Amino acid sequence: MPVLPQPTRRERQREATYDEIVRVSTQLLTDGAELSLRAVASRMGMTAPALYRYVANYQELVDLVAFELDKAATQDFMAAAESYLEDDPAARLCAACVAFRRWALTRPREFALVFANPIGSEDSERRELLTLSTSGHYFTDLLYQIWELYQFPYPALDDLDPIVRDAVLDPLIPAKADHIEPEDRGILWIYMRSWSALYGVVTLESTGHCDPRVIESAALFRATMLDWLEPLGLGAETERLTAVLDAELARDRSQR
């Protein structure tokens, strides 16, 4: 095997500084403090101009921290899912979704930084960064594994709105698509719709824009999850997956 070049001392120092920027920014969020270039620089013992050598502006700071927070949170989703067998992606999806919800409820500022970080329609560079989202790839990979096992239906291209058809043929979402034949890209519409359902209910709960009793009981989240079993070809698995979901939610309540 070829020997990969080792990073130089300067490159290691630069990478360590980026790691520290993320750690300090995360701590500011945890502390309820303002996240700003000045606040990060101050906690790092740097001047703001020195920090600009690593992040040129506030948006670059947010994008860097959001990407790393998403990557770290996805490790927790994966750990929760690994309580179930590798050949049971449906159960793994239930566990990962509960872990996603737990992260949003217990770390709402991190969740908001990652998922309420607006991207303009003309901002192609930041749009490209979005397509690399670790959590997006993880959840859509699970959905594809479910499709491989259960062959849930998805719309034909001719049945899609022309704009949606263009979007699934040339996707700008965090999901692998190269292995899906163009005529089968209707499955990406299932990806988008199921994600919007999960994201919608979790955002309502995380921001408190929901009856607190419904949040505490997880009733809306649970109903949303169960509503999606049939579209994902899991109708025959309802009883088993309901038990999985309820066990994960019970475990979640005991940990918080």
CATH class assigned to 1-56? mainly alpha
Phi-psi region of 151 (alpha: psi -120 to 50; beta: other; left: phi over 0): left
Closest by alpha carbon to 169, among 155, 152, 186? 186
- What's the predicted TM-score (pTM) here? 0.91
- Averaged pLDDT for residues 24-32: 95
CATH class assigned to 72-255? mainly alpha
The model's confidence at residue 26, banded by pLDDT at 50, 70 and 90, is very high
- Averaged pLDDT for residues 209-221: 96
What is the per-residue pLDDT for 3? Answer: 53
Cβ–Cβ < 8 Å for 168, 160: yes
Structure tokens at 100: 């996603």
What is the per-residue pLDDT for 190? Answer: 97
What is the per-residue pLDDT for 1? Answer: 52
Site of tokens 């022309």: 162
Cβ–Cβ < 8 Å for 90, 231: no
Q: Chain-wide mean pLDDT for the chain?
A: 92
What residues does CATH 1.10.357 cover in the chain?
72-255
Residues of the chain above pLDDT 90, percent:
79
For the cut 80, the answer to whether the pLDDT of residue 117 exceeds it is: no
What residues does CATH 1.10.10 cover in the chain?
1-56
Tally Cβ neighbours within 10 Å of residue 249: 19
C-alpha to C-alpha distance for 156 and 187, rounded to whole angstroms = 9
What is the per-residue pLDDT for 132? Answer: 72
What is the per-residue pLDDT for 22? Answer: 95
For the cut 80, the answer to whether the pLDDT of residue 127 exceeds it is: no
Residue-wise pLDDT tens digits, 222-254: 999 999 999 999 999 999 999 999 999 999 888
Which of 5-19, 115-129, 178-192 is modeled with the greatest confidence?
178-192
The model's confidence at residue 173, banded by pLDDT at 50, 70 and 90, is confident
C-alpha to C-alpha distance for 70 and 75, rounded to whole angstroms = 9
- Averaged pLDDT for residues 132-142: 91
